[in-house]
Structure formats: structure tokens, C-alpha cells
Structure 1
Amino acid sequence: MIDAVQTRPVTEVKTNSKPGEWLSWNQEEFEHCFSKRPFLISHDLCNHPFFDVERLLELAQKLPADQIEYNAGQLPVSISHAETPMNGLSADETIRRIAECKSWMVMKYIEQDPEYRQLLEECLAQVAPLTEKIAPGMMKPHAFVFMTSPGSVTPYHIDPEHNFLLQIRGEKIVRLYDGNDPTLLSPRELEDFYCDRGRNLVISEENKERCWTYRLKPGQALHFPVTFPHWVENADDVSISFSITFRTPDLDRRRALYRMNSGFRKLGCNPAAPGTNRLCDNACYQAFRVWRKASSFLGR
């Protein structure tokens, strides 16, 4: 096990002394850990009206259907998205009955609602002065709301963005794994992910305890480095979480390199993982850009 269950308070630098400032953190820890390993920060959104169930129901009714994903919540840690059972309810019913319907739900890209967009922008404006020093070029900001029934499980998977998960209501146990360790996350798994072959993964029994474990409480937020595998277990109450995410230009480059490697592998090659050889990475990325421009010019 990398760390025991962490529920400690955050030794924080208060930054929410002005209206519209919601987050606080330990600056030294933030600068040392961002994009490298998980760490906790604090937030002041637990009593915000945007996360009342009735307001979330109103939000769900405004969002396009393809931006609301929900399914049964009583799941194994490792299961493919295709095998994940539905809960037999509508989105409205799932929200209204979330305390009892044993389900998991995410409302995606909620920044399309102007009020939630402003909240996302306020949160990211606070962290940007620090993140820009480490991973410059903040772009593609998105926000998500997760609603989960007691005891539900979010299966083992990876995500492509810089992410802070803000716990609003209830508690959840998050188990995060080192995405830089190829014995935990292989180059081929990353190739499959970046080629859109699915984000859910299979975790082996011998690796299951090789994780950081956090019991997230309301008022706490957890940083998820890009493509660090994780799975989540809800506690004995309804959980509501707010996820603020963004991307940076280096992530587009990373995606391109893994997609290129997948293509090389289909040709019978055994390419080195991105990051192994900078010159090779640069050559591959330039080739990708030329191919993309040519494809665009030819209308393919």
C-alpha cells in the first residue's frame, strides 16, 4: 500500500477571502505534487445552492441526453463499460431516488449552464496561477457532477484531464494508483485508451493494494493526476461530488504519441513508450502534425 487511508485536514493557505473564491490549499504541497501525485485541498461549496437535489434535477432536465450517464451502482471493481448494467430508470427518476436506487450518475459538461460555467471559471481562476507554472496553457475547461447511491462502486478506470474532485455531500473512498508505473498502467493500456477503445481497466489482485487511499469528506477535494488509475467506493450515504477539469497542450501531444505508437504496433513494430526518447517523440509528433494537416487538406 502506498498510503494508509487519508482523512487528515489540509494545512491550508486561505484564498477564499473574497466573493467567488472557493478553494484553499497548502501552497508548498500544491507546487510539489500537482500533476505528479494526488493531494488534498479544501473547498467551501458544501452549502452552495447549485448542489441541492432540486437544482441538480433542474440542471439534468436542461442537459442533452448524451451528457447524462447513469447505470447500476452495485458493480465489481473491474468491469468493461459495455458490460455495465443499466438501472432501468430515467435520469429524473435516478436523481429523485438516488438514496435508494443503487445507482451511479454523472452529468457532463455542465458548464453549458451559465451559472455552473461561472462557478467553474471562478474555481479554475484560483488554481491557474500555480498550475501555469507547472503545466502551462490551461484550456478546454469542463465540469461534472456525480451523484451516487450508498455503497455504489465506480469501476477501475483512467481519465484524460487534470482534475480536482470536490466532495459536496456524503463520503467516498478513492483508491488512486501511480499512472507513471508501467507495472500498474502499461503503455498498451494507454494506447488503447487514447485510441478510444475504452477507459475501464482490469486491476490484478497483486496490485489492488498498491494505492493511495483517501476517504473524502465534504469540504475536501482531491487532485487526480492525468491517467492515474482509480476506483471509488461510496460510503453509507448519498454522495454528491463536483469535478473541475482542464487540459493543457502537452496532453494533446501525449495523446498523439500514444495513437502513433498504436499504429506502429499494428505494423509489427514494438515502439518505445512516449517519454523514453525525446528526439523520437519530437519526430513522431511532427509526423503526426504533418499527417493531420494533409488529411484536413484532402478532406479525409
Structure 2
Amino acid sequence: MNVFPPETLARFASAYPERPHTLAHALGQDERLTLDALAGLASRLPGASLEYNRGNLPIGVDGKPAPNGLSIEDTIRHIASSDSWAVLKNIEQVPAYRDLLLDLLEELRPAIEAKTGEMLTPQGFIFISSPDAMTPYHFDPEHNILLQLVGSKTMTQFPAGDARFAPDTVHESYHLGGPRELPWSDTLLEGGTPFAIGPGEAVYVPVMAPHFVRNGPASSISLSITWRSEWSYAESAARCFNGTLRRFGLNPRAPGRWPQGNTGKSLASRALRRLRKTG
């Protein structure tokens, strides 16, 4: 049985890759996604794939939030009362969760590849959040669908590629190894679009679209299924090249959004990377 109904696939195909939108899904109770199973998954993932901290945060933070003082397993098992936010990254490292991720993406593959070509680098992330927890303002380099499984949350998204919401210098810093958290001002809020989702609902997030997420009044479990395209990789490489140019006092033009190509700067960035490796 398919997780995404036909009308959802049609909606996704129409809006992908640049328009955020809500979707329906039928990913219900799954033994891999209970709190006990997720605590077990956390114990099997390397430390670099675990991120967790206190959940009582502002929309904007300067760098990584402070830890919550608990283990990841205790954070997850007691998420209803631990006032925390946790993410298990790259769940595809564990075979059962890789199967889950790939089965979901396979349903979307025709619509994805019709627009942005080969679906590259499938990755999965599971978010476990306490009541009212905040995921601060940030962006991510992948095409992303966030499926809500337990509880509710509201994701507020901002236009991708608009320097008002994420300056070009911040993009460049991120792609050169800096943090994904973005500078925040309350004056930005009027440019955001809130997407409220509960169990059986999902939201699509375009590449590098700034967003923050406020959890609902109950604890929450969400699954993020992501992939890359050659366009997204070219955009990343072009941002790296622009960051290098800016270090020499130049003021380069921002990469174009899809369907514009960024081939020239992408190739130049990759050539520079090869020179550094061989130099």
C-alpha cells in the first residue's frame, strides 16, 4: 500500500521543486518509530549523527544551542517532560531505517526526476520534540519533506534565495563549513508562511529555504526524508566559489534559483577543491 495518495503525488509534482506546500501521507503506526525503538536507534548511530539540546529556545540563536544535560536515550524516552529537542541524523546508516527511507522516496522518484533529474544522496532524519519546543531559524541544503507522525507542529518558511531572509554571505559561510543557524530579527516574521501539520500531514521544504519550527502542546515525532539533485549540488558549489571570491574583495552575484544553472561557478569551485587537495 502506498504511503502517498494519488492526489498528494499530483500536488507534489505540480509544486516541486520551488514551492513549499502541505501533503497528505498514510505512514501510521510503525514499530521502527516508537520512542523505545528510536532510543535504540540512537544507541546504534555514531555520535556525529546525534544532536539534542534543550527545547526552550528563541527563534534565533547564535551558534549551536546548549545541551540539556541528559543522555540521548533518556532525552527520547522522556521527551514529554525533558524540555528537549533531538534529531537522529542519517538514519539510513541502519538497514531497517534505510529501507523505510528508500520505500518512501521510491513513490516520489518519478515526480522528482521529471523536474530535477536523478535523485541523489537520499538521507533521513527523525525529530523528537518536547511540548512547545523550538527548532531555531536555519536552512538546509537538501530537498526535504517533513512527515508528521505524532503530535503537531508549525513550520514557518521564508522564500528561498531571498537575501532579506538569508544574506549571501551567510549562505557562503555555511557552504564553506559554517553553522546552518541564521541571524534573526522580528522584522523578518511578516515574510514567513506558517504551515501547521499533524499526524498524516507533511510539508515540503525547498533547498535552502529558511525556516523555524514550533512544536505543539504535546510531544512530537517527525520524519524528514531528503534528497539532493545535481542542481542543488551546483548551487552549493557556486556559493563556495562566491565565498572564495569575496575573500579577495569581490562582490559576486548570487547563484540563480532553479531552473537556472550554476554550472560555471560549480565547475570552478570543484577545480579549486581539486587544486587544494593536490597542492
Same fold (TM over 0.5): yes
| Alignment equivalent of 2:243, drawn from 252, 257, 262 | 262
Matches within 5 A, 1:78-227: 78-82=60-64, 84-227=65-208
What is the aligned partner in structure 2 of residue 35 from structure 1? 17
> Does the Cα contact within 8 Å between 1:179 and 1:229 map onto a contact in 2?
yes
Give the C-alpha shift of residue 286 in structure 1. 3.0
TM-score computed with the length of structure 1 as normaliser: 0.87
Pair 1:274–1:238, CA change in 2 (3 A): same
What is the aligned partner in structure 2 of residue 60 from structure 1? 42
Higher mean Cα deviation, 201-210 or 264-273? 201-210
Higher mean Cα deviation, 250-259 or 124-133? 250-259
Q: In structure 2, what residue type is equivalent to 1:68?
A: L
Determine the C-alpha separation between the residues in 1 that align with 2:194 and 2:22: 12
Give the C-alpha shift of residue 216 in structure 1. 0.8
Pair 1:98–1:26, CA change in 2 (3 A): closer
Q: In structure 2, what residue type is equivalent to 1:258?
A: R
Which structure would you say has the larger Rg? Answer: 1
Residue 72 in structure 1 maps to residue 54 in structure 2:
yes
Determine the C-alpha separation between the residues in 1 that align with 2:217 and 2:261: 50
Give the C-alpha shift of residue 182 in structure 1. 2.4
- Count of aligned pairs: 277
Determine the C-alpha separation between the residues in 2 that align with 1:281 and 1:217: 37
Pair 1:96–1:295, CA change in 2 (3 A): same
Where does structure 1 lack aligned partners over 5 or more consecutive residues?
1-17
Give the C-alpha shift of residue 32 in structure 1. 2.6
* 2:141 match: secondary structure: coil
Residue 26 in structure 1 maps to residue 8 in structure 2:
yes
| Alignment equivalent of 1:289, drawn from 267, 270, 274 | 270
> Does the Cα contact within 8 Å between 1:37 and 1:178 map onto a contact in 2?
no
Determine the C-alpha separation between the residues in 1 that align with 2:204 and 2:269: 31
RMSD (Å) for aligned C-alpha atoms: 1.9
Q: Quick one: percent identity of the two aligned structures?
A: 34
Where does structure 2 lack aligned partners over 5 or more consecutive residues?
none
